Structure 1
């Protein structure tokens, strides 16, 4: 299934996508289930196929404002330098890391598909990072590696937009440059885990104005989806709706000579074949 969150008729809603239409689920999965995160936390998703087969679409994708699939997650944890070619990209002679590098992002730093990415007035170094994000469906702490993939509710495309000069403000942290409001995007939807036979052969592609900038496959991840869940759950409880963004391939704008940062009017697309295309235009924040 493809599940989305959106705004329509003055209200935040969620639903299932069928072709170019939306079957609204907002008031159909029982009391207290008013968001996709609520549905993941209970047994609501089990009811969706039966409802979707009987209900008529209420909206088309073109007439609603898409939100990040999980608009208000408890946690967004991003993984840095996870594709093996990225470690080589630093050209510092370092060995592959023993453990993943992680940092937090806040919900307000992301917009949904079709919404503008904001280039802040404080910097001209807004950059793109195409990634695959996984969404937790089953909660857990100290999750065994063998069980970890069973905690995935689904996957989505993510642009982990980064303000490059601000990631260097602190000596040991990158949080500032990773959390400017509306600098990244998620979507267009959450594709549920049953749409994927395996996670080690997924391709992620990033384009800017139609020009391919990034392409790699999860076969080249240093830390698999399962290991990330196992490792992260060692030190924090993962809950339904939590998001783990799994890293970006080589080819970000900062790595060109000279760097190729985003400008107003640029269109950034992140595609994962079989999952969808996340597309956003860049605008200067006023």
Structure 2
């Protein structure tokens, strides 16, 4: 039994070493030295073209399916610390191999790392190309991530029409994030504003326990925007949102509360959101409670 486990460990270590060597070879593929005698001549700066080269290599299809699958598994291990010490840099190397093998989940994870730009180089162009590649395989998280980028103009230009096309293509997947982003577009952008449509999609998301949508529905019912004005329904949605099992972001609660404090009809929502954020020891919310005299 002991020998078997030792052999298993040795095999895993051998595979990991081989995959790391493969990752290193891919990572250095574009580092070409300038040919002799080119001093003063126009030499391609490969660092400036790193994004273009990465995009080209990603979709070259040079990785065998079995190698890609193994790299995807190792990338997950190092990314999430499953049985190993978390190492996003090493994870990115394995995910890059898996991405070359067109594994959608790995393409998605690698894109997020490059958008974050903390452990690997920030490269929005490459990240968006990865997300678009995963989108071609109908990978839902990549589709919603792309839509989010286009809606909030993060790492790219705002493109609401493209976001709508992406979201409506997967609307029957019953994903609350898809419903929420559709509602957000119809709620917040003047060229597409439709309170009734916004309320419909917020409600669809709220049915899945999406607390952001539940908070927004509380505000809509408090003001009668797109729905009948009803204080009791507003209070009910607010109560459900604050009791949500989903971890809540105190910054978002504070931001929503700050905006809702501006309207008398939604001030009760603002107070509840600020109290919730303050209980999470979010200092700006605690200050707001003191300034407003809310208890």
Which TM-score tier does this pair reach, normalised by the shorter chain? under 0.3
User: Could you say which structure has the higher strand fraction?
Assistant: 1
- Higher-helix-fraction structure: 2
**Could you tell me the TM-score, scaled by structure 2's length?**
0.24
Give the TM-score normalised by structure 1: 0.25
Higher Cα radius of gyration:
2
